[in-house]
Amino acid sequence: SQTIHQWPATLVQPVGSPLSLECTVEGTSNPNLYWYRQAAGRGLQLLFYSVGIGQISSEVPQNLSASRPQDRQFILSSKKLLLSDSGFYLCAWSPQGHLSYEQYFGPGTRLTVT
Amino acid sequence: AQSVTQPDIHITVSEGASLELRCNYSYGATPYLFWYVQSPGQGLQLLLKYFSGDTLVQGIKGFEAEFKRSQSSFNLRKPSVHWSDAAEYFCAVGAYGSARQLTFGSGTQLTVLP
């Protein structure tokens, strides 16, 4: 069966510091991968998605970036964090070339920028 | 572009009572529709999905949803709510494209009274 991992689970970082959040998927090949941010009391905002290694699409202009160095690894980064980057970051995957559209979510990373 | 509206931000029900969470979507073609549930500090779990066929779909944890094309709705129901159902519920619509993106509603927070 497929599993999705995210780490770290929680992170407290000062303003201006760098960020690296990692997401890995097991048990599937060539998945679509997604990064979402969920601010307190709000819905999900799609940040990036990827349909393959090195292929990244950005949905929202910001100081975040994403990379996909391996088939089942998706990384969210920032060179300098802002207070507004605080939130709950969720990674998700969906199967490629499959009729269904459902996405499967990881446990999330709680980021607090101080 | 597709959109999803969940008109109820917060719903409170008593344990054992019936539940209906509303979801309205806007999409130009036949929609792919989903309901997800999120417990505090956790990722999202897929409850059920609709692609085609029978408009009444069954999901996990005793939930069901009915697709009504004429009303552009996909409401979630449960005949008898349990205290463990307290969580936030998100409706989502699938967008056609290679990345199979989902657009989420803003969520409905469910409180269950003993």
> Contact B41/A108, CB-based, under 8 Å?
yes
- The predicted-structure confidence for B8-48, as pLDDT tens digits, reads as follows 999 999 999 999 999 999 887 778 899 999 998 899 999 99
pLDDT at position B28 is: 73
> Under 8 Å CB-to-CB from B26, ≥6 apart: which residues?
B2, B3, B4, B5, B72
Residues 27-86 of B with CB under 8 A from A: 32, 34, 36, 41-46, 49, 51
* pLDDT at residue A53 in the model: 92
Long-range contacts of B36-41 (CB under 8 A, 24+ apart): B36/A105, B36/B89, B36/B90, B36/B91, B36/B92, B36/B104, B37/B61, B37/B87, B37/B88, B37/B89, B37/B90, B38/B87, B38/B88, B38/B89, B38/B90, B38/B107, B39/B87, B39/B88, B40/B87, B41/A88, B41/A108, B41/A110
Residues 29-48 of A with CB under 8 A from B: 32, 34, 42-44, 46
Going by pLDDT thresholds of 50, 70 and 90, the confidence category of residue B106 is very high
On the question of pLDDT at B99 being above 70, the answer is no
pLDDT (average), residues B56-61 = 96
**Chain B contact for A56, CB < 8 A?**
no
Burial level of A77, CB count in 10 A (0-12/13-18/19+)?
A: middle
* pLDDT for position B98: 57
Digit-coded pLDDT (tens) for A14-59: 999 999 999 999 999 999 999 999 987 678 989 999 989 999 988 8
Task: Give chain A's count of helices (H) and strands (E).
Answer: 0, 11
How does pLDDT run across A67-77, given as a tens digit for each residue? 999 999 999 99
- pLDDT at residue A98 above 70? no
